[in-house]
Structure 1
Amino acid sequence: MSQHENLLKKIEDKTYTIGIVGLGYVGLPLMWTFHQVGMPVVGYDIDEKKIENLKKGIPYIKHLGTEMMETLANSDKADATTDFSRLDEADAILLCVPTPLDHHREPDMSYVEQTTDTVSQYLRKGQLVILESTTWPGTTEELMIPILEKNSGLKAGTDFYVAYSPEREDPGNPNFNTAKIPKVVGGHGDEALKLATAMYDTAIVETVPVSDCKSAEAVKLTENIFRSVNIALVNELKVVYEAMGIDVHEVLDAAGTKPFGFMKFTPGPGLGGHCIPIDPFYLTWKAREFEKHTRFIELAGEVNTNMPTYVVDRTMHALNTHKKAMNGSKVLVIGLAYKPDVDDMRESPTFKIFDLLKKMGAEIAYYDPFIPEVLPTREHGEYTGMQTVEWNKETVSGFDAVLISTNHSTIDYAELAEWSDCIIDTRNSMSGVKPRSENHIIKA
């Protein structure tokens, strides 16, 4: 039996160990998904606190709940470690590490490079290495494989296998978890593709093989560019329709009744999360190598990036209608998470709103039932340690304005309407509440 056939047999017998590097919003659900079907899993992370919590069954990502953590902690088929010398225990090594932008809005590949370098030090024959992080087309074969081959002395496609399969997580979405979302897979050669496809087939509802790693990388970028451009469109329409005295949400709801030729997107205060604000610019950067320009992508990025400024302008307008200046006003921002009902604050537009409000002299505070305290971030360290205010009439009514940045479903918006005289609504959260006056609820 050949090496490849032997590995396929291990997958079939569920004795094939899955190693996952990076136990965050992507890696942890992936670890759970493979564990649920009986595959042995080992998680690797440099964060000792995450590993400690995982071993004790303590949740560190709230929307994933306690059952997952307790089950993984007590399973003899799941383990977690900060010891990367144990990478040789895994038959497949899945890399789920950040791919942010740097301060020049260019790809920061340091996490991928450093992790790949670490993997290469312990790489052995027969292992499958898969990148799941979103990145520019060509990363797997142009960046990763040379590092793996140089440092290990092994040959990709002969001694070990390489593939790319983009993560498609949607944190907090009750209708889709990792197991229910089809998995796109591209391999460096036919054997790598077959091996990766067989592995994902054990746990994922459907695998979608494509011709190579580069095509799989392009799939993920295309998905997020599509969303970015369409969100920018409805954000732009919001600004235009507001000037005309038209409710953009009413327009979009009505347009959404068309059963063909229209897909509804919802405007907001700007983009957040680890994907849509970042990923499109990976293609913009790579396109320059081929002397191509991504005008739609860049224009969409400009529109979405400017939304916090529009929101703050509307906040100033709302305060003016109450004969108050922004300078010296106390503003409560509801929602630090970038989307409803999660504790994920990565790239949240609320941080930009904080910056702009402070620059104009406002005193800021936030309320978020999912984020009791601001943890350290790569770009907004000045807010580390800031804590949510309490949700009660005395506290909320003490602010000159309340700005809704994230529409958490656990918040009683009717109650908010009773407590606050000046509400700025970026999410149409107050649509079911009758305002007390013309300047009670201002849409932004």
Structure 2
Amino acid sequence: MSVQLNENGRELLNKIENRQATIGVVGLGYVGLPLAVEKARAGYRVIGFDVQQKRVDMVNEGINYIGDVVDEELKEFTAEGKLVATTDYSRIQEVDAVAICVPTPLDTYQQPDTSYVESSGKEISKYMHKEMLIVLESTTYPGTTEEVLKPIFEGTGLVCGEDFFLAYSPERVDPGNKFYNTKNTPKVVGGITPACTTIAAAMYSNVLEGDVHQVSSPAVAEMEKILENTFRHINIALANEMAILCNKMGIDVWEVIDAAATKPYGFMPFYPGPGLGGHCIPIDPFYLTWKAREYNYHTRLIELAGEINNSMPDFVIDRCMQILNKEKKALNGSKVLVLGVAYKKDIDDVRESPALLILDELEKAGADFNVVDPHVPSFRLNGRTIEPLQLNEELLEEADLVIITTNHSAFDYQLIAEKSKVIFDTRNALKEYSTDHAKYYRL
């Protein structure tokens, strides 16, 4: 459908389509930095904004700190001046379009904390101008773009859809995914007005290889992002509950899932684990839970799934106690080797990692634990810094129990299977290996 644009819209669209626009990215983390690099690769001049001086300095020096970014590309774009970073928000005056990619965590009461979005919006509003596109990418509850950001920007006297253009396009990042990345993942875009949607979609079409799917409003785009992550949240909870029940019944849950996955329709395999981690799946569904209260609706299924997923670290500890009890040992004083502290395989991100909760409980129980993770150089636990060790035969042979909490590809699973005395595999990582040398337990 053809959309009529006013002069401001036509001028902006022309700059975007001809790659004459300067594009800003606010927040240079796991979402923002890969997006900034893609925009520079597409031929745009890019200015990255971040409140952390260390990040800004690293970007300007061409030093990469995000796994999904290619080191050489970042060095190339910064060296050529295609990508620069700054803490100075007054340079918003230089940009024609800006994407907001800041965190949206939960507070201590499990309520959305939109303070980063609001503060970014207020900083942008000080320096925004006509013929400007603003896109929020941070995952949030339906209504944020229109209810929180639009009033901030229109407080300048500029009119949305006429003077400036505002849209929501949810980030879709799967750290460690070998196939899908920022560039080739389809994008959903919903603007405040049809003109906003058209202009935002044009920018992403010029930058990304994936399809750009336009929806009727920011609220639809905000809701679809929550649906994506809630779908995974609930189905993982089902897999976890099946694992708990199968353990009680003496049935191998992994074999059950493999068998169910042979059905070519009506079933999609999800797998149990020691708990949920990362900044998306454990958090995003609760944005919707909070927003639903405004409509006097209680999201029972989402909250119940959260209870199940949040209980998995405790279930892992209970299993550890049961396993060691069979060896006539207590968890207190036992040597436990924990393999993996990142929340998922082949990444260095420990945010919300269930391994941290498991380590905390091991410490409380008096276990003598060591940690191995080839991707995480250090992490914080109970106020102190822990540096993971290198995996070796001695660590495996000395351990009373080896727990696989993250199934990194870099682990030598043959060595683990041959040198460990007792293994508790929460990820089914040793599926293809002989475990005849050890007493082997799966989640």
TM range (shorter): over 0.9
Secondary structure of the residue aligned to 2:379 is: coil
Residue 8 of structure 1, aligned match among 13, 16, 20? 13
Q: Is the 8 A contact 1:116 1:147 kept in 2?
A: yes
Residue 70 of structure 1, aligned match among 62, 67, 75? 75
What is the CA deviation profile of residues 236-287 of structure 1, one whole-angstrom value per residue up to 9, with x for unaligned ones?
Answer: 1111112222111111112112111111111111111111000000000000
Residue 38 of structure 2, aligned match among 33, 37, 62? 33
Amino acid at match of 1:180: N
Distance 1:201 1:371 in 2: 35
Structure 1 position 402 matched with structure 2 position 402: yes
Distance 1:115 1:12 in 2: 26
Structure 1 position 325 matched with structure 2 position 324: no
Secondary structure of the residue aligned to 1:32 is: helix
TM-score (norm 2): 0.95
Q: Is the 8 A contact 2:285 2:302 kept in 1?
A: yes
Amino acid at match of 1:424: F
Amino acid at match of 1:441: Y
Which residue in the other structure is 1:101 paired with? 106
* Alpha-carbon distance, 1:358 to partner: 1.6
Distance 1:66 1:14 in 2: 24
Within-5 A mapping of 1:254-403:
254-374=259-379, 382-403=382-403
Distance 1:68 1:339 in 2: 25
Q: Is the 8 A contact 2:34 2:68 kept in 1?
A: no
Which residue in the other structure is 1:225 paired with? 230
Distance 1:45 1:433 in 2: 45
Amino acid at match of 1:420: S
Secondary structure of the residue aligned to 1:361 is: coil
Distance 2:118 2:183 in 1: 28
Amino acid at match of 2:441: I
Distance 2:109 2:334 in 1: 33
Any gaps of 5 or more consecutive residues in structure 1?
none
Residue 204 of structure 2, aligned match among 197, 200, 208? 200
* Alpha-carbon distance, 1:101 to partner: 0.7
Amino acid at match of 2:200: A
TM-score (norm 1): 0.95
What is the CA deviation profile of residues 384-409 of structure 1, one whole-angstrom value per residue up to 9, with x for unaligned ones?
Answer: 52100121112332322211111001
Distance 2:338 2:68 in 1: 22
Residue 126 of structure 1, aligned match among 90, 107, 131? 131
Amino acid at match of 1:351: L
Which residue in the other structure is 1:442 paired with? 441
Q: Is the 8 A contact 1:170 1:176 kept in 2?
A: yes
What is the CA deviation profile of residues 80-99 of structure 1, one whole-angstrom value per residue up to 9, with x for unaligned ones?
Answer: 11111111111111000111
Distance 1:398 1:390 in 2: 14
Distance 1:245 1:2 in 2: 69
Structure 1 position 249 matched with structure 2 position 248: no
Which residue in the other structure is 1:181 paired with? 185
Distance 2:396 2:410 in 1: 16
Distance 1:239 1:287 in 2: 30
Range 71-80 or range 104-113, more displaced:
71-80
Any gaps of 5 or more consecutive residues in structure 2?
1-5
Q: Is the 8 A contact 1:389 1:395 kept in 2?
A: no
Residue 65 of structure 2, aligned match among 60, 67, 73? 60
Secondary structure of the residue aligned to 2:268 is: coil
Q: Is the 8 A contact 1:402 1:423 kept in 2?
A: yes
Which residue in the other structure is 1:161 paired with? 165
What is the CA deviation profile of residues 311-330 of structure 1, one whole-angstrom value per residue up to 9, with x for unaligned ones?
Answer: 11111112112221111222
Distance 1:127 1:330 in 2: 59
Q: Is the 8 A contact 1:63 1:342 kept in 2?
A: no
Q: Is the 8 A contact 2:22 2:47 kept in 1?
A: yes
Secondary structure of the residue aligned to 1:333 is: strand
Distance 2:247 2:289 in 1: 31
Q: Is the 8 A contact 1:21 1:94 kept in 2?
A: yes
Amino acid at match of 2:39: F
Q: Is the 8 A contact 2:68 2:181 kept in 1?
A: no
* Alpha-carbon distance, 1:334 to partner: 1.1
Structure 1 residues 404 and 66 mapped into 2: Cα distance closer, same or farther (>3 Å)? Answer: same
* Alpha-carbon distance, 1:62 to partner: 3.5
Structure 1 position 92 matched with structure 2 position 97: yes
* Alpha-carbon distance, 1:349 to partner: 0.8
* Alpha-carbon distance, 1:159 to partner: 2.0
Q: Is the 8 A contact 2:336 2:368 kept in 1?
A: yes
What's the Cα RMSD here? 1.5
Structure 1 position 424 matched with structure 2 position 428: no
Distance 2:78 2:385 in 1: 29
Give % identity.
Answer: 50
Distance 1:112 1:433 in 2: 47
Distance 1:191 1:236 in 2: 46
Which residue in the other structure is 2:50 paired with? 45
Amino acid at match of 2:23: I
**Alignment length (residue pairs):** 437
Distance 2:369 2:383 in 1: 11
Amino acid at match of 1:30: L
Distance 1:153 1:433 in 2: 66
Secondary structure of the residue aligned to 1:350 is: helix
Distance 1:113 1:257 in 2: 47
Range 276-285 or range 42-51, more displaced:
42-51
* Alpha-carbon distance, 1:63 to partner: 4.7
Range 61-70 or range 7-16, more displaced:
61-70
Structure 1 position 170 matched with structure 2 position 174: yes
Which residue in the other structure is 2:195 paired with? 191
Amino acid at match of 2:287: Y
